Amino acid sequence: MTSPFDLTGKRAFVTGANTGIGQGIALALAKAGAVVACAGRSSMAETLTLIADAGGRGSEHLADLADKDAAVALFETAAREGGPFDILVNNAGIIRRADATDFTEEDWDDVLDLNLKAAFFLAQAFGKSAIADGRHGAVVNIASVLTFQGGIRVASYTASKHGMAGITRLLACEWAGRDVNVNAIAPGYVVTNNTAALRGDEDRSAAILARIPAGRWGDPSDIGGAAVFLASDAARYIHGAILPVDGGWLAR
Ligand SMILES: NC(=O)c1ccc[n+]([C@@H]2O[C@H](COP(=O)([O-])OP(=O)(O)OC[C@H]3O[C@@H](n4cnc5c(N)ncnc54)[C@H](OP(=O)(O)O)[C@@H]3O)[C@@H](O)[C@H]2O)c1
């Protein structure tokens, strides 16, 4: 019997796949059978080793994805050389922390350019190709619990992650009838570089942990399974959903 979560024969493009949540997702997709194009600005060697050790296949594609033209060119070149993609995971993202009264235009633009603008134009390139070919596709955007909450000291990040929910729903409405699924995952607090500063702050770290019903921070592998699900045929009738994977944080 074939598993509805089987991704054999699928090609996935995952941004920010060298570390953290992107690495967890790339590995999970590869374990489910997908060939994974690992995209980002840093070496993908570690991720490609993990994928190979798991018996999977992947490739490295490097560019600064904050430049949306470079991001789209990277995607299109990879598709031309290796074949069209069935799955796009918009994971690459950054965060800048400052009080709202002191927040700079640079910290606003840098975060929005990568987290939202590049993600939208990558989805556009992916959707255009899938729709033109009549090919089924799945986009998985990485949102956040700050898609639903305000947070503190992260104005541009919160704006970008609220925006991610908006474009996820908009693209789902436009593309559901064209056999392209667009959904998002909202991770809670996960142990990655992104949360190093928070975890380094003893008081904030303890306060966050005390509020997580699961009683632990998330691990990138916790997010991988949800990405496999949303990329798979098991999620074929799911459009515009934002799935929290947060140890119960939002339920509290
Ligand atoms: N960790 C959490 O608790 C959490 C919670 C909710 C949502 N998220 C989201 O999950 C996603 C992944 O974050 P993470 O937690 O795994 O953090 P991370 O370890 O800092 O990973 C961020 C990824 O984005 C890449 N990236 C940053 N700027 C880039 C650029 N200009 N061009 C290409 N790639 C770039 C990074 O590459 P480099 O390694 O080269 O910098 C890295 O691969 C982000 O969208 C984040 O907002 C994280």
3-class SS shares of the chain: helix, strand, coil, % to 5 = 50, 15, 30
pLDDT digits (tens, 9 = 90+) for 205-222: 999 999 999 999 999 999
Position in ligand 1 atom list of the atom nearest CA 21: 16
Residue 134 is predicted with a pLDDT of 97
DSSP secondary structure letters along 62-99: E--TTSHHHHHHHHHHHHHHH---SEEEE---------
DSSP secondary structure letters along 123-189: HHHHHHHHHHHT--EEEEEE--GGGTS--SS-HHHHHHHHHHHHHHHHHHHHHGGGTEEEEEEEE-S
Q: Name residues contacting ligand 1 (CB within 6 A).
A: 16, 18-22, 40-42, 64-66, 91-94, 114, 142, 144, 187, 189-190, 192-195
Q: Within 13 Å and on the Cβ side, how many CA atoms surround 95?
A: 19
189 tagged catalytic: no
Residue 94 Cα to ligand 1 midpoint, Å, equals: 5
Residue 209 is predicted with a pLDDT of 96
Residue 192 Cα to ligand 1 midpoint, Å, equals: 8
Per annotation, catalytic residue among 157, 189, 229, 249: 157
Residue 2 is predicted with a pLDDT of 83
Alpha-carbon gap, residue 51 to 62, rounded angstroms: 18
Residue 173 Cα to ligand 1 midpoint, Å, equals: 27
Q: Which residues are paired to 142 by β-bridges?
A: 185
The span from the first CA to the last CA of the chain, in angstroms, equals 39
Positions of the chain with pLDDT under 70: 1
Select from 15, 19, 25, 68 the residue to mutate for testing ligand 1; criterion: most ligand atoms less than 8 Å from CB: 19
CA distances from residue 111 to 38, 116, 117, 159, 244 in whole angstroms, order as listed: 21, 8, 9, 9, 22
Could you give the domains of the chain? 11-243 (3.40.50.720)
| Residue 242: its H or E element | strand 242-245
Residue 201 is predicted with a pLDDT of 93
Residue pair 39/63 in contact (Cβ under 8 Å)? The answer is yes
